[in-house]
Homo-oligomer: A and B are copies of this chain.
Amino acid sequence: MRRGVHAEAAALTLLGVAPRLAVVVATADEGAGWYVRSLSGAARRVGVECEVVDLGPDAAPELIGATLARLSSDDTVHGIILQTPLPDGARVEELAASIVPEKDVDGANPLSAGRLAAGLAAYPPATAAAVLELLDHHGVELAGRSAVVVGRSLVVGKPTAQLLLQRDATVGICHRHTKDLAEHTRTADVLVVAVGRIGLIRAEHVADGAVVVDVGTNTAPDGSLVGDVDAVDVARRPGALTPVPGGVGPVTTALLLAHTVRSARAHV
């Protein structure tokens, strides 16, 4: 996919519409900083301009909203991301309403979520889209199969469930209140885990032959990046598991850039 995005970005640039992504940051969080640098690097490599608008960790919600509104009406910007975490008192789901849906490449505006549920054109959150992209890439059939999503966050769990439902899977959604998690997850042909807890999913949670997509990104005590799935334990089961790091993360980045380029096409 990335090669296609690179070629398309180059062609658009030749036509005078250089694809441009704006990332609004209002945090000193280290993980967020690492992620934004990684995204900027990936953007540069495929020929997408990436503008980081750093408002500082004490930015008022009003300033963040006004910045998103300004970027929304800036014709040279084609994609807008509001990086989390945000300062106290700022809520991403409220502020993201200031991102026009055409530039909402990470599907953060509630209107994008609603349009997605209604089957209308909208960008889904890139992480959720990445889960589907991975499943499609590996030819995993979804229609009529049982898919279970563990986690119900606005950015991953809920939209992933929505996308799986659109693809005719029978969908279950589990979370911290679920009693006997393993009983539910063991019914899954496709298991998507997006909670943020190391070792949450072990062999006993997984059916033989199930495909497991690990969306978790946790920092292990030794500083390494690990998912929610105990990969060593789950490897005892015949089936497939996406790795962390790798897996969903890089595909998410690629999709954010692909969405930005798609949005830029509308300006040719």
User: Residues on A close to B: CB < 8 A?
Assistant: 93-94, 109-115, 117-120, 143-146, 152, 154, 158, 161, 165, 168-175, 177-179, 184
Contacts and interface: CB of A to CB of B under 8 A. Distances in A.
Nearest to A173: B171
B120 A117 contact: no
B154 A170 contact: no
Number of copies of this chain in the oligomer? Answer: 2
A177 B167 CA distance: 10
A169 B120 CA distance: 28
Given A118-B154, A165-B173, A173-B165, A144 B178 contact: yes
A120 B143 CA distance: 32
A171 to B, nearest CB: 5
A144 B179 CA distance: 6
For the complex of A and B, list the 8 residue pairs with the smallest distance between their C-beta atoms, beginning with the closest: A114-B114, A110-B114, A93-B118, A113-B114, A168-B177, A170-B178, A172-B172, A144-B177
Contacts of A118: 93, 110, 113, 154
Instruction: Tell me which of A117, A120, A158 has the highest count of chain B C-beta atoms within 10 A of its own C-beta.
Output: A117
A93 B5 CA distance: 31
Contacts of A177: 143-144, 168-170
Contact of A117 (B110, B144, B146, B174): B110
